Amino acid sequence: MFNLILVFDVGNTNIVLGVYEGEKLVTHWRVSTDRQKTSDEYGMLIRSLFDYQGLDMREIKAIMISSVVPPLNPVLEETSRQYFGVQPFEVGPGVKTGIALKYENPREVGADRVVNAVAAFERYGGPVIVVDFGTATTFCAISKQGEYLGGAIAPGIGISSEALFQRAAKLPRIELIKPKSIIGRNTVASMQAGIVYGFIGQVDGIVERMKAELGEDAKVVVTGGLAELIAADSKTIDEVDQFLTLEGLRLIYEKNK
């Protein structure tokens, strides 16, 4: 039996956890990101998840963390040491990734973007464009040689929808689903049409401009909570890969262990 690896993808809205046995993703969970939780609270939450799946926390031999929420890093480090007896490995400067960062300041590239780039290049080769639908929507371009060239960052679908509800007095909070028609016949349908098709247009527009700047065609891979919704009507998306970030964390572990 392979040693089990626990990976954390810490985002501003959710933390996605995955357990790997070798190259196999055994199970995964999505929990809310809570900056107020203590290491003990996260430890007990993770213990309950492991118990529910019939997994033994003592089988975890390594922990990988990718985080864009710096205040949670020491909390999860303490959780790892106290509940797993493991010193976690964090994605950051000095970590071997196999990806050359061509950013003006490589330290500014979010850990999640680096991890996605590693997994996308490993799985699909280059050039490849990765779109991640998280709290922010990020677009990342990776060259044929596996170089991280840069990208674009836009407000995420969720926070854009929430801003509309909060700043426009007569507009309600809505469910983010595809409407029956682009021409909405009521307020909710009109908002759904504007948000969903607006983001589809945003993705296609940015991707087409990136391809033109790259000077060659590129595979387009999307990940994140609302990836399926946007991909269904996009003209440019080739693959939906919901576990891209978790897979990238596993690959970086393999490069550094």
> Which residues are designated catalytic?
112
Q: Which residue has the tokens 């080739």?
A: 238
C-alpha to C-alpha distance for 166 and 196, rounded to whole angstroms: 18
What's the DSSP call for residue 239? E
Helices of type H across the chain: 39-53, 73-84, 111-124, 157-167, 187-214, 227-231, 244-256
Give one DSSP letter per residue of 48-77, joined into a string. HHHHHHT--GGGEEEEEEEES-GGGHHHHH
The answer to whether the beta carbons of residues 248 and 21 sit under 8 Å apart is no
How far lies 35's CA from each of 15, 77, 193, in Å?
11, 14, 33
Distance CA 218, CA 126 (A): 7
**Spatial separation of the C-alpha atoms in residues 26 and 19, rounded to whole Å:** 6
216, two tokens: 């060659």
